[in-house]
Amino acid sequence: MAKFSKSDNCKNCLDCNMRIPMLSTLSRPELIELNENRFEVKFKAGETIFKQGTSATHLLILTTGLAKLYVEGVQDKQLIIRIIKPWEIVGQASLYFDNRHHYSIAALNNTTACFIEINAFKKAIQANTLFAEEFIKNCTQKGIFSFEKMVSLSQKQMHGRIADGLIYLSGKVYEALNFDLHLSRQDVADLTGMSKDSAIRILKEFHNEGIIELDGRKLKILNYAQLERISETG
């Protein structure tokens, strides 16, 4: 199970400063304050990091590994909103609302997570305008991302949605055309809003048509332009 520890790549918020653009607006004393209100936990693949509905007391930053952020919808179905990578601040949604988690987060592989106390974070927002502005910027970007996702989910057919999913994974998550997928087929389905069987079918189709090469979880995008075309035509 998850246990406390100090990882090698996250000893101090003063270092994280370099990796997380938002934190670079904070002063040294502010970073020290933040550092005193944080701790780390390791998670194994599959373990739940945040559970939807529980009370939100901390923000989350992964320092190693990947995780999926999803909402629990109707009949136990999951909708994966996005994949969390290291050095991304997660959990803002609850900061100024009802202090509840409105989504769950589960580790996709072995991860290390840094938890920052919510009030320490709020304090920084109140004290540092630049930081607050960075925070707002972050929120609004996510809002725009949400719009695109809604269009994809509600107006595109399966081919377009799978194309969108692959473009997202390749462009935003792995930043490569050739990568080892951490998502199961079910996860791909939950990311693109369809049944597992349908996701498998479309992926196989793309494979057969030479758009991608998919062997187990080894994924290579062969024709990115074609994916973009499919994404646009829906």
Partner DNA sequence: GTAAAAGACTGATAAATATCGATTTGTATT
Partner DNA sequence: AATACAAATCGATATTTATCAGTCTTTTAC
**Contact positions vs DNA (CB under 7 A):** 157-159, 184-186, 193-198, 200-201, 203-204, 214, 216-217
CB nearer to DNA: pick between 132 and 153: 153
Nearest CA among 182, 183, 192 for reference residue 227 = 192
Number of residues that make up the chain:
234
In the chain, what's the furthest Cα-to-Cα distance? 57
Q: Give which of DNA, a second copy, none residue 92 binds (C-beta under 5 to 8 Å, depending on kind).
A: a second copy
Closer by beta carbon to DNA, 84 or else 194: 194
| Burial tier of 8 (Cβ tally within 10 Å: 0-12, 13-18, 19+) | exposed
* Rounded-to-integer distance, Cα 85 and Cα 98, Å: 25
Virtual torsion, Cα 131, 137, 139, 145, nearest 10 deg: -150
- For DNA, the closer of residues 178 and 184 by Cβ is 184
Q: Are 118 and 57 in contact (CB under 8 A)?
A: yes
Smallest distance from a second copy to CB 210, Å = 24
Residue 12 interacting partner from DNA, a second copy, none (CB closer than 5 to 8 Å by kind): none
Instruction: Look at residue 186 and give the partner it binds from a second copy, DNA, none, a contact being a CB closer than 5 to 8 Å depending on partner kind.
Output: DNA
Provide the minimum distance between the beta carbon of 194 and DNA in the complex, in angstroms, as a whole number: 4
Name 206's bridge partners: none
Q: Which residues bind a second copy (CB under 8 A)?
A: 71, 73-75, 77, 79, 81, 92-97, 102-103, 125-126, 129, 132-133, 135-137, 139-144, 146-147, 149-151, 153-156, 160, 193, 232-234
- Between 94 and 192, CB nearer to DNA: 192
Report, in Å, the least distance between residue 228 CB and DNA: 18
CB of 220 to a second copy, least distance (A): 27
Work out how close the CB of 179 gets to DNA at its nearest, in angstroms, rounded to a whole number.
Answer: 15
Partners of 70 in the β-ladder? 80, 104
Tell me whether residue 138 or residue 186 sits nearer to DNA (CB atom). 186
Per partner kind, with CB cut-offs from 5 to 8 A, the member of DNA, a second copy, none near residue 74 is a second copy
